[in-house]
């Protein structure tokens, strides 16, 4: 699977402006199976969402979800990123995974209390969301979720050595002041779950924070396969080698020895 990660300097509270900028980058990087955008990529990370979060129209969909559907169809791809959504006065940090024919959504489970996200947003439920796209099973996660390994723990399903997912997506607005933690947590999640990690963070500034990126694709051994330039608005493209992942899992089946307590 060919993946393009878009490391964006997000325009504040401007869904249409961000859509146009994202569309330009996608056109400049054609042919990927999946395009990945940062957390709240249509507005910036708005902990005070009134007047900023996107409301559904008469069709029950916000502007950015409609734009994602259009891009997925026109480019025969999947597109993924989180959006601040106003659902009848109740706010969600909602990750959409959109394909040409359908979409799935995941509402951020671990809200960032330190930044006040929990005061205005509603947390997603305790069920994880795993999507399958072109033969790859992907767990959907948002930013702060990366600090909670029990919630994302991979597990075996069915007979044989069959992990529940092959990759984790993390979309983020992770500030420069804590980027060292981001860079350490991502390889840990890849190693302990024997999977790829696809992580995209923003650059630039918003009213509260400075961002320098740290967008990267990491393999199951914790190696960085591809990484965006620090501090720069750019796109980086790389391949998921599913045959190599299968060989590694077969050779070193560590998940067989995992604890058997229940995970969500």
Q: Would you name the residues annotated as active-site residues?
A: 39, 108, 143
Which residues in 2-29 are b (16+ Cβ under 10 Å) and which e? ebbbbbbbbbebebeebbebbeebbeeb
- Residue 70 CB-density burial (10 A; 0-12 exposed, 13-18 middle, 19+ buried): middle
Which token pair is 71? 């891009």
167-172 and 196-201: which strand pairing? Answer: parallel
Q: Which long-range contacts (CB under 8 A, 24 or more apart) does 59-62 make?
A: none
For residue 122, count other CB atoms closer than 10 A to its CB: 14
């Amino acid at each position: 699977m060919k993946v393009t990660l878009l490391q964006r300097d997000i325009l504040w509270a401007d869904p249409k402006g961000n859509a146009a900028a994202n569309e330009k980058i996608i056109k400049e990087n054609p042919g990927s199976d999946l395009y990945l955008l940062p957390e709240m990529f249509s507005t910036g990370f708005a902990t005070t969402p009134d007047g900023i979060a996107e409301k559904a129209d008469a069709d029950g969909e916000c502007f950015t979800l409609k734009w994602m559907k259009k891009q997925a169809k026109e480019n025969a791809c999947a597109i993924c990123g989180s959006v601040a959504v106003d659902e009848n006065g109740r706010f969600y940090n909602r990750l959409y995974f959109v394909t040409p024919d359908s979409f799935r959504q995941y509402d951020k489970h671990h809200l960032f209390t330190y930044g006040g996200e929990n005061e205005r947003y509603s947390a997603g439920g305790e069920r994880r969301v795993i999507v399958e796209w072109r033969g790859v099973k992907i767990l959907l996660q948002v930013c702060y979720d990366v600090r909670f390994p029990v919630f994302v723990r991979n597990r075996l399903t069915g007979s044989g050595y069959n992990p529940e997912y092959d990759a984790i997506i993390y979309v983020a607005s992770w500030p420069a002041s804590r980027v060292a933690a981001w860079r350490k947590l991502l390889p840990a999640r890849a190693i302990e779950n024997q999977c790829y990690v696809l992580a995209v963070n923003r650059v630039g500034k918003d009213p509260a924070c400075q961002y320098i990126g740290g967008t990267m694709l990491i393999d199951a051994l914790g190696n960085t396969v591809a990484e965006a330039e620090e501090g720069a608005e750019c796109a980086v493209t790389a391949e998921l080698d599913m045959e190599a992942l299968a060989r590694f899992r077969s050779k070193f089946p560590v998940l067989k020895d995992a604890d058997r307590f229940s995970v969500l």
